[in-house]
Amino acid sequence: MFGQISFRAKLNNLSGKIHIFIGVENYIPDFLCMCELWPKFGRCVTLAKRSVLWMFPLGPAAYLVGTYFIDRNYSARSSATIEQLAKQMKEEENKVIVYPEGSRNSGQEFLPFKKGAFHIALRNKIPILPIVIGPYRFLSDNPFRFGTGRVHVTILPPVDTSQYKNVDVVKLLDHVRHQMKEEFEKLRKLDDE
C-alpha cells in the first residue's frame, strides 16, 4: 500500500448496531482507508451517485457489493432509493457508508453536504458515526504521485438522532459537518507535527 493508516478510535465496537457511517471523500485513496475499516463494520452497504456505476473498475465492483445508486437528476427516484435502503437497513440490520458531499473533493475544504443520509437517519432514528480521514501529505496532485506516509483516521462518537425532529435535517447536517471539519483541522495539525 502507500503507507500506514493510524486509527484514532476503538475499532472493536463498530459491528453491533445499525449506523450510518458518514465520510468525506478527499481523494480516491480514502477508499483504501474504508476498505481497512469495512470488515470491522459488519454487514454494510454504500450509497453512491449513479455516475460512479460507469467508473471502471470501481463502478462494477460497487455494483457487485450491493451499492445503492442515487440518480441526482431525478429527486423522486432518489427518494425511492433512499427509502428502499432504509427499509433494508432495518430488515437486514445493515449499516450504510455515505459520502455526503456527493463529489470527490481534492481541496482542503469540505463541500456542502447533501441531505439524503441525514433524512434516512432522522426518519428511522439511526445513529450517525462520522469518520474523518486526514490529509494526504504524501500524495502530490501535480504531477500525480504517491510517496509513503501515514494517514490519520478518526471515528468520532455516534451522533444520537433521536434528539432531533424530522424537520431538523439541516440542523443535524450542520452539527455533523461542524464536528467533522473540526476534527479534520486537528488531523491536519497532527500531520504537521
Model confidence pLDDT, tens digit, residues 149-165: 677 888 888 899 999 99
How confident is the model at residue 12, as a pLDDT?
A: 55
Q: Residues 30-55: pLDDT tens digits?
A: 667 777 777 777 778 888 888 888 98
Bond before 29 cis per omega within 30 degrees: no
Cα radius of gyration (the chain): 16
Residue 153 DSSP SS3: strand
Choice between 5 and 163, residue whose per-residue pLDDT is larger: 163
**In CATH, what class is 3-192?**
alpha beta
Cα(127)–Cα(191) distance, integer angstroms: 29
How confident is the model at residue 1, as a pLDDT?
A: 44
In the predicted model, what is the mean pLDDT of residues 72-86? Answer: 83
> Strand 144-146 relative to strand 139-141: parallel, antiparallel, unpaired?
antiparallel
In the predicted model, what is the mean pLDDT of residues 155-177? Answer: 92
Grid cell of 135 as nine digits? 490529509
Contact by Cβ (8 Å): 119, 82: yes
Q: How many CB atoms lie within 10 A of CB 172?
A: 22
Going from N- to C-terminal start, the domains of the chain cover 3-192
In the predicted model, what is the mean pLDDT of residues 175-180? Answer: 94
Q: What is the DSSP letter of 144?
A: E
Cα(129)–Cα(112) distance, integer angstroms: 18
Q: Report the Cα 111 to chain-centroid distance in Å.
A: 13
pLDDT bin (cut points 50, 70, 90) of residue 147 is: low
CA dist 110 to 2, 13, 105, 143, 182, Å?
24, 27, 7, 23, 11
Cα(46)–Cα(64) distance, integer angstroms: 11
How confident is the model at residue 3, as a pLDDT?
A: 59
CA dist 172 to 19, 105, 128, 133, 159, Å?
15, 22, 10, 20, 9
